[in-house]
Chains A and B, each alone.
Chain A
Amino acid sequence: MCQVDNNISTWVRIKDSDIYHSFINSPTAIVSSVILFIIFFCSFFVEFITPYNPFDPSSLSLMEAFTPPSWTEDGLAKFILGTDGQGRDMLSTILYGSRISLIVGFSAIIFSLILGVGLGLTAGYFGGKYEMIVMRLTDVQLTVPSILMALLVDGIARGLISREMHDEMAIYVLIFAIGISEWPQFARVSRAATLVEKNKDYVSASTIIGVSNLIIMFKHILPNILRPVLVIGTIGLALAIIAESTLSFLGVGVPPTTPSLGTLIRLGNDFLFSGEWWITFFPAIFLVILAFSINLLGDWMRDTLNPRLKK
């Protein structure tokens, strides 16, 4: 295996790798990543895909409100998934909504990843009292249910920020609220991995050479602990998206003017018993598919990247 040619491209290397091979042979991984790709693509380029802008009041017509999905008796062909109470096209609203959900989910997970990995890595590396304080802090954090934590943050933010500002700031508050409740698992995993890595000889070798602690941590240890962190990061992403929807459903998330999936489910919920089931059903099913696909992809990643599970 030592005769690997230097001139081969990165693409060939990727194609030759075990991860690529495992991906190609796993139908779940392929299906879920295709679904995710479609969702991501449609959500981020929604302006160019849908003919409607649900947030432009001039384009809405109340006459078309409560149109059922196109395949039902009263459905209209131009509204595939029907419209809501204000005549907004459901499909475009969902895509706009999922964009908000994805942005919040990604930002929250990146926030907690940086916080958690930073604390976990330094705690594992330096040890001693600092480690003890950080790890007890994560223990405390883990005893507070994440939704409760998020509600608490949201409540405090409402108290601190004026009402007009709040709608603008809502998305940042949400990101912070979800991020702050998810960092302990990143801290735990990265601390455990750091404890393993820091006793390896390459770390000793760097110390002997005279490399500073900071460089050892970020240049040598960090790349070696990223695998498990990325796996829980992926699964955490699904959790963050669900948390966002839950908060929005409870009414403490993003405001109805820029609805996320959770907000849409809540708004639709009011009409559920009067027969307009599609207004809440489609955003809900969309959320399930999104979270499920991310989880499946995360599971596949965990199995592939974990050397102990190799057959």
Chain B
Amino acid sequence: MSFLKIQNLCVDYPMRKETIYAAKCVNIEVNKGEILGLVGESGSGKSTVGNAIINLIDAPGKVSSGSIILGDLNIHENSKNIVKYRGNKIGLIFQDPQTSLNPILTVGEQLIETIQTHLDLTNDEAKHKSIELLKEVGIKDAEKRFYNYPHQFSGGMRQRVVISLALCCEPELLIADEPTTALDVSIQSQILELIKRLTKERNLAVILITHDMGVISETADRVAVMKSGNLIEIGETKEILTKPKETYTKSLVSSVPPTNKKISRFVIIEKENKDNQINNIKILNRWNKKEIIEQDLVKIENLSKSFDDNFFTENSKNSVMAVDNVSFEIKEGESFGLVGESGSGKSTIAKMIVNLFKPSSGDIFFDNVCIAKIKNKLEMMKFRKQIQMIFQDPYSSLNGRLKVKDIISEPIKLHNPSISSGDLNEYIFDLLESVELSQKSAERYPHEFSGGQRQRISIARALATQPRLLVCDEPTSALDVSIQAQILNLLKDLQEQLNLTILFISHDLPVVRQMCDRIGVLKDGKLCEVANTEDIFLKPQHDYTKKLLHLMPKIESIYN
């Protein structure tokens, strides 16, 4: 008899135009002492299932049928039941530790409040219990930290506090909704270890909701795969990841970038995609293709950038060194990867290369011209034309008030004012086709497209000026894995056929391994090491690189 039993759960969101079925007849069972991984892409309904268990579904959504049985009680039979169960029998961990704690109460006050809501304890007893809990989740100096406010904790520590809050009333079921997505790799592995340890020690039933297959393969005992509200497949983690039965699971697994080898292209299984052969790039005949010359296209020398948070004291010691004395070169035609955790300064370097920020000191040479020394407006335009950028967030990188064709035509008209309107249209169509969008897309607005399609529009816009260097700042980290695989394939094709030089910035090591020829590892604004990709992964020199590689969740670990 399993501990949590979800039977035929259906969740509907009746909207004005149509009813959205966020979960359709989902059947899941979870045993005590087991971690069930719930995976799926965005919109698959994985969080909906988690929220349905604790009855936190936002209006107008509602559980339309089905039952959720915890132990021997149907918790949706009586809406009063759930209030008793929340926090008491069911603990919750949210994605973002920044917002899941109340900033004006100390950690101790929040723990005591939660404990006293559910357990009949005096203040002293509750305090004692809270300190025990903080120790259990690995917070040092728990007696002192008890009186601290959430902002005095780092992200990982805060997530530990959230876990201790979830555990404080001895729940039997723990729901973790993307508990490590907002955290860096090194902290992610600590939190996952903690969840694994607690599951064993306390004999918890855990539902781990995530989109990250690497996390699943390292932590979950069983996996449930969801797609658009349907439960596709459920079973042992090893079974699902190595021998998936359903096509969807297969494509999901094959889109995950492998960490242990470099593959030439991602295999895309989904039926609607005939993506497995290299597509022909239409703009090739207009492209003023440059033969690759053995030379450094970008040369960065002792680059530093500091940010002053105070307007009045420009020379204050408080200024943060975002980039600290970094030097490296990017050869023409290669793809160079910059990896690092959040705050390591990788995006700042990208913004300095495209001349959005001015460096505090040091020089950037593009094609042997120092960028800072370009004063002439015409020369600046020439420089702009040669470097383009693709951004992380596909939602904010396109102006929602302009049609796609206006977005793409802007750079074309700017750099070639004399282009005839017929020629312009043809060029736009060619660009759209090169990024695998239909010609009809030209007349639409960005909000009609999905994240992946928007990223394709972004790429088309960047290609419109026929750049030599394409700076990609986390181009896929906002996308689902299967979409990520398609976009990465596209970037590879474009690079190969157009002889582009790519600067690829990412925090995701497996992705970087697939995309880049050489990699630079950044930590706190300093460059730790630069080497060929395979060298970095096989024989890392710097301690930090070794640590990063060791901690990265590996989907292959399941095979061992």
Contacts A2-B449, A205-B391 given; does A210 touch B398 at CB 8 Å:
no
Closest CB in chain B relative to A109 CB, distance in Å? 23
A298–B280 alpha-carbon span in the complex (Å): 53
Closest CB in chain A relative to B287 CB, distance in Å? 18
Q: When the two chains form their complex, are residues B396 and A210 in contact, meaning their CB atoms are under 8 A apart?
A: no
Q: Hey, which chain B residues are within 8 Å of A210, CB to CB?
A: 380-381, 384-385, 411, 414-415
B444 is contacted by which of A4, A200, A202, A206 (Cβ under 8 Å)? A4
Q: When the two chains form their complex, are residues B381 and A205 in contact, meaning their CB atoms are under 8 A apart?
A: no
Contacts A224-B399, A224-B401 given; does A209 touch B388 at CB 8 Å:
yes
Q: When the two chains form their complex, are residues A201 and B415 in contact, meaning their CB atoms are under 8 A apart?
A: no
Q: Which of B387, B398, B399 has the most CB of A within 10 A?
A: B399
Q: When the two chains form their complex, are residues A208 and B453 in contact, meaning their CB atoms are under 8 A apart?
A: no
B222 lies within 8 A of chain A by Cβ: no
Q: Hey, which chain B residues are within 8 Å of A205, CB to CB?
A: 389, 391, 397, 458, 461-462
Count of chain A residues near B, Cβ 8 A:
21
A288 lies within 8 A of chain B by Cβ: no
Count of chain B residues near A, Cβ 8 A:
38
B393 is contacted by which of A1, A201, A311 (Cβ under 8 Å)? A201
Q: Chain A binding site: helix, strand, loop or mixed by DSSP?
A: helix
For window 441-468 of B, CB contacts with A under 8 Å fall at 443-444, 448-450, 453, 458, 461-462, 465
B144 lies within 8 A of chain A by Cβ: no
A21–B414 alpha-carbon span in the complex (Å): 39
Closest CB in chain A relative to B347 CB, distance in Å? 11
B397 is contacted by which of A6, A21, A201, A223 (Cβ under 8 Å)? A201
A204 lies within 8 A of chain B by Cβ: yes
Q: Hey, which chain A residues are within 8 Å of B384, CB to CB?
A: 208-210
What 0/1 readout, one digit per residue, does chain A (1-22) give for beta carbons within 8 Å of chain B?
A: 1101010000000000010010
What 0/1 readout, one digit per residue, does chain A (188-205) give for beta carbons within 8 Å of chain B?
A: 000000000000111011
Q: Hey, which chain A residues are within 8 Å of B461, CB to CB?
A: 205, 209
Q: When the two chains form their complex, are residues B410 and A211 in contact, meaning their CB atoms are under 8 A apart?
A: yes
B490 lies within 8 A of chain A by Cβ: no
Closest CB in chain A relative to B380 CB, distance in Å? 7
Closest CB in chain B relative to A210 CB, distance in Å? 4
Closest CB in chain B relative to A18 CB, distance in Å? 8
Closest CB in chain A relative to B427 CB, distance in Å? 15
B16 lies within 8 A of chain A by Cβ: yes
B103 lies within 8 A of chain A by Cβ: no
B448 is contacted by which of A1, A201, A224 (Cβ under 8 Å)? A1
Closest CB in chain B relative to A15 CB, distance in Å? 12
What 0/1 readout, one digit per residue, does chain B (39-65) give for beta carbons within 8 Å of chain A?
A: 000000000000000000001000000
Q: Hey, which chain B residues are within 8 Å of A306, CB to CB?
A: none
Closest CB in chain B relative to A214 CB, distance in Å? 13
Q: When the two chains form their complex, are residues B388 and A208 in contact, meaning their CB atoms are under 8 A apart?
A: yes
Q: When the two chains form their complex, are residues A202 and B385 in contact, meaning their CB atoms are under 8 A apart?
A: no
Contacts A202-B397, A224-B400 given; does A6 touch B385 at CB 8 Å:
no
B440 lies within 8 A of chain A by Cβ: yes
Q: Which of A201, A206, A207 has the most CB of B within 10 A?
A: A201
A158 lies within 8 A of chain B by Cβ: no
Closest CB in chain A relative to B356 CB, distance in Å? 6
B354 lies within 8 A of chain A by Cβ: yes
Q: When the two chains form their complex, are residues A6 and B444 in contact, meaning their CB atoms are under 8 A apart?
A: yes
Q: When the two chains form their complex, are residues A208 and B356 in contact, meaning their CB atoms are under 8 A apart?
A: yes
Q: When the two chains form their complex, are residues B453 and A204 in contact, meaning their CB atoms are under 8 A apart?
A: no
A220 lies within 8 A of chain B by Cβ: yes
Contacts A2-B449, A311-B59 given; does A209 touch B396 at CB 8 Å:
no
A6–B444 alpha-carbon span in the complex (Å): 8
A204–B471 alpha-carbon span in the complex (Å): 13
Q: Hey, which chain A residues are within 8 Å of B399, CB to CB?
A: 202, 206, 220, 223-224
Q: Which residue of A lies closest to B415 (CB)?
A: A210
Contacts A202-B397, A208-B384, A210-B385 given; does A6 touch B391 at CB 8 Å:
no
B391 is contacted by which of A204, A220, A311 (Cβ under 8 Å)? A204
Q: Hey, which chain A residues are within 8 Å of B393, CB to CB?
A: 201
Q: Hey, which chain A residues are within 8 Å of B397, CB to CB?
A: 200-202, 204-205
A209–B381 alpha-carbon span in the complex (Å): 8
Contacts A2-B449, A202-B396 given; does A211 touch B414 at CB 8 Å:
yes
- Closest 3 pairs between A and B when the two form their complex, measured CB to CB: A201-B397, A210-B384, A201-B391
Which residues of B line the A interface, CB within 8 A?
A: 16, 59, 351, 354-356, 380-381, 384-385, 387-389, 391-393, 396-402, 410-411, 414-415, 440, 443-444, 448-450, 453, 458, 461-462, 465
Which residues of A line the B interface, CB within 8 A?
A: 1-2, 4, 6, 18, 21, 200-202, 204-211, 220, 223-224, 311
